[in-house]
Amino acid sequence: MSPKSALKAKSEPVPPETPSRPLALLQWYDRHRRRLPWRAPPGEASDPYRVWLSEIMLQQTTVKAVGPYFEKFVSRWPDVTALGRASQEDVLRMWAGLGYYSRARNLHACAVAVTREHGGTFPDTEVRLRALPGVGPYTAAAIAAIAFDRRTMPVDGNIERVVSRLFAVEEELPQAKPLIQELAATLLADSRAGDSAQALMDLGASICTPKKPACSLCPLNEGCTARALGTQDTFPRKAAKKSGALRRGAAFVVTRGDELLVRTRPEKGLLGGMTEVPGSDWLAGQDDAKAKRQAPELKGLSRWQRKVGVVTHVFTHFPLELVVYTARVEARTRAPASMRWVPIATLADEALPNVMRKVIAHGLDPSSPSC
């Protein structure tokens, strides 16, 4: 379709040569859309399973990081019922490294629910999608729009940014969410709701970026209030968030031949359900001596060796410093209650969060000295 005919089609409230914002957006999208593994080719229907899976993975996570995980998941579990049949443990193993592990637990719970309560078919309304584990207001709207072409506008961080600039929303996030939601809905075309949403997200990801937005390339630049004011960099407004205090702890890397002592973290909370080496609590202001007292008790343990240096890791809400102690025990030494031995060679298959991969790498590194 030529731009001209599109202009003619709907141009009521605006000057004849200016397409409406929803249409301008769609025209831009048809030329510049990103090709992503979970997106259907133009004109084709998208698979709700792939849309859902990608939306969960993309929560607070970059497209680049998601790519390989998405491929691994769809190749191992091609549809919801397959995923519903998997064990939560297998799902956590495949998710290890992506972060926010409650997403993986909810992903599995959701697959089970869709299989058992919806006959293996995703519900196609926002309300019923919203009732699924791990599916909040954003994801429900995104699936409804993208997979089922429901006329609704999901609002994510990209869209918040684009909309807050377009209308120069002075109110701070997250208080401004309802207003932004309302304004975002005005960018919905009469049809192709999913493309409207994805267009806005692509725009936010590639043009209307957090820093130095490329306004000259933006299909909405003419009507953008922030740009007119030259203040686009200052939106969205939000209060600075406080960072958590440094926490310290100790981690214990115990080997028995070519095996490593590990345990599983509690279901809920930080790194819930993931594998770890035994360790102390992680507390602000904790000293090394106190942390070391929480070492596991093992028969046939010669002595603890403290590795030089510390392992540092930054979580969303606090930074962490871990001192690493190593020890070897004799063959056939029993693992303490609720712990187990795993071959070091198969560690890659464990549900190990990255902080634990760092700890183990440091503890096992023969070139790094002990004190």
Partner DNA sequence: AACACGTGGGG
Partner DNA sequence: TCCCCAAGTGT
**Positions that interact with DNA (CB under 7 A):** 36, 38-39, 54-55, 58-65, 97-102, 106, 133-140, 142, 156-158, 161, 198, 201, 204-205, 209-211, 238, 240-241, 243-244, 269-272, 313-317, 353-355
User: At its nearest, how many Å lie between DNA and the CB of residue 208?
Assistant: 9
- 158 closest CA partner among 203, 195, 221, 219: 203
Question: Which residue number, 268 or 293, has a Cβ lying nearer to DNA?
Answer: 268
- 145 closest CA partner among 206, 207, 189: 189
Instruction: Look up residue 75 and give its amino acid.
Output: S
User: At its nearest, how many Å lie between DNA and the CB of residue 324?
Assistant: 16
Which of helix, strand or coil describes residue 124?
coil
Tell me the torsion sign for CA atoms 209, 210, 213, 219. Answer: positive
User: At its nearest, how many Å lie between DNA and the CB of residue 125?
Assistant: 15
Q: Report how far residue 196's alpha carbon sits from residue 35's, in angstroms, rounded to the nearest whole number.
A: 15
- 89 closest CA partner among 324, 316, 275: 275
Which residues lie closer than 8 Å to 169 by C-beta, 6 or more apart? Answer: 163, 176, 179, 180, 183, 235, 236, 237
CA distances from 309 to 7, 20, 246, 322, 368 (A): 65, 60, 16, 9, 9
Q: Report how far residue 43's alpha carbon sits from residue 51's, in angstroms, rounded to the nearest whole number.
A: 15
- Give the single-character DSSP code of 318: -
Q: What stretch of H or E contains 259?
A: strand 259-264
User: At its nearest, how many Å lie between DNA and the CB of residue 298?
Assistant: 26
Question: Which residue number, 7 or 51, has a Cβ lying nearer to DNA?
Answer: 51
How many residues does the structure list for the chain? 371
Which of helix, strand or coil describes residue 325?
strand
Please name the residue that has the structure tokens 């799902």.
91
Question: Which residue number, 218 or 298, has a Cβ lying nearer to DNA?
Answer: 218
User: At its nearest, how many Å lie between DNA and the CB of residue 129?
Assistant: 9
Question: Which residue number, 9 or 214, has a Cβ lying nearer to DNA?
Answer: 214
User: At its nearest, how many Å lie between DNA and the CB of residue 72?
Assistant: 15
Q: Report how far residue 82's alpha carbon sits from residue 357's, in angstroms, rounded to the nearest whole number.
A: 29
CA distances from 58 to 51, 103, 126, 142, 256 (A): 10, 10, 19, 12, 39
> Of the residues 12, 17, 44, 55, which is catalytic?
55
Question: Which residue number, 7 or 218, has a Cβ lying nearer to DNA?
Answer: 218
122: left (phi over 0), alpha (psi -120 to 50) or beta: beta
User: At its nearest, how many Å lie between DNA and the CB of residue 272?
Assistant: 6
Catalytic (active site) residue 55: yes
Question: Which residue number, 271 or 298, has a Cβ lying nearer to DNA?
Answer: 271
Annotated active-site positions, please? 55
